[in-house]
Amino acid sequence: MKTIKGPGLFLAQFVGSHAPFNDWPAITNWAAQTGYHGVQVPSGEAGLIDLDLAATSRTYCDDWKGQAEENGVTVTELSAHIQGQLVAVHPAYDLAFNGFAPVPLRGNSRARQAWAVDQVMKTLTASRHLGLTAMATFSGALAWPYLYPWPQRPAGLIERAFDELAARWRPILDHAEECGVDVCYEIHPGEDLHDGASYEMFLERVGGHKRACLLYDPSHFVLQCLDYLQYLDIYRDRIRMVHIKDAEFNPTGRQGIYGGFQSWLDRAGRFRSPGDGQVDFGAIFSRLAAMDFEGWAVVEWECCLKHPEDGAREGAQFVKDHIIRVTERAFDDFAAAGLDEAANAKMLGLA
């Protein structure tokens, strides 16, 4: 068994134009003062990291990582969620996702996709330069608009979508292997990889690629009514990252998992700060300890009610209170008989 590292904080929801959230030294110092030992960094945030430099200069990476360590936090992983989303975009979402790309590329889906692939590749290279072993991302989606099978899906439609998705990611996964970095897909609604079944469809198409791994976030499974504890048991060998994010699902006579086009506040399923929702984190941390999870417990703040800075502060303490310092001995060792093989044989009547 292993003691989980943490708490860490995903910085994506905190980066902004005002201090201390607009500057790498300042935000890492704030994270440390808030109670965190690590930070997960979105690689597309130019105010935090120069990705081009990080992908080409180990000296830059050493200095950048050193600034964080001087402030008291470790860089846990880099995230390429935004760029990964653009690796595969269905035309229905072209306009909605335009804002994820640089202004000159908006409206040019081919150029946008090429830029996204390059960005993910650079994030993997930068991860290697930083001595990291995992990178977070989204898979993107081609089949998502056809999630509900009405009208009936034409034969082969979903298979073709997953064939294409796998073809786009295979070169990235091969680069990840060269870098020694796992690609951790966050299983997330809006992505073609949104549950275990869809992940397995993808995994089969990339030949069970060893770098096609998982970021575990139970909040998304609460909103899908998926057994998030059994998921840990099934995919324990592929889970390399964990987001500590809470959620609640309170269906009514008016709405359920689809949410009735309501805002986050008014949906039956909504995200909450750690400890304020329905996720059984006690059971999750127990399973993670038992399955020798080697990564970080990283808080991802997404709450429709609570202020982010309060959520961050409380989240740090929440993780500290839930991390299990694993035991190095059995509780009943004091009663160990210390018998030898001859005694064992005699106890079994075999002597």
User: Secondary structure of 23-71 in the HEC alphabet?
Assistant: CHHHHHHHHHHHCCCEEEEECCCCCCCCHHHHHHCHHHHHHHHHHHHHC
pLDDT of residue 272: 98
pLDDT of residue 335: 73
Q: pLDDT tens digits for 36-91?
A: 999 999 999 999 999 999 999 999 999 999 999 999 999 999 999 999 999 999 99
Alpha-carbon distance of 90 to 113, in angstroms, equals: 11
Alpha-carbon distance of 274 to 7, in angstroms, equals: 12
Burial of 208 (0-12, 13-18, 19+ CB in 10 A): exposed
Amino acid code (one letter) for 97: F
pLDDT of residue 20: 97
Provide CB contacts within 8 A for 288, sequence distance 6+. 4, 232, 242, 297
Alpha-carbon distance of 88 to 120, in angstroms, equals: 13
Provide CB contacts within 8 A for 67, sequence distance 6+. 24, 25, 28
pLDDT of residue 351: 77
- Taking 70 as the pLDDT cut, the residues of the chain under it are none
Provide CB contacts within 8 A for 270, sequence distance 6+. 247, 248, 264, 304
CA 157 vs. chain centroid, Å, equals 28
Provide CB contacts within 8 A for 273, sequence distance 6+. 246, 301, 303, 305, 306, 310, 311, 314, 315
pLDDT of residue 33: 98
Alpha-carbon distance of 223 to 256, in angstroms, equals: 9
Amino acid code (one letter) for 265: L
End-to-end CA distance of the chain: 36
User: In terms of Cα–Cα distance, which of 296, 319, 315, 312 is closest to 241?
Assistant: 296
In the chain the domains, ranked by start, together with CATH numbers, are: 5-347 (3.20.20.150)
Q: Alpha-carbon Rg of the chain, whole angstroms? A: 22
User: In terms of Cα–Cα distance, which of 287, 255, 284, 286 is closest to 268?
Assistant: 255
Contact between 139 and 192 under an 8 Å Cβ cutoff? The reply is yes
Q: Which two tokens stand for residue 47?
A: 């105010």
Alpha-carbon distance of 156 to 53, in angstroms, equals: 43
Provide the 10 A C-beta neighbour count for residue 170.
Answer: 15
Contact between 213 and 240 under an 8 Å Cβ cutoff? The reply is yes
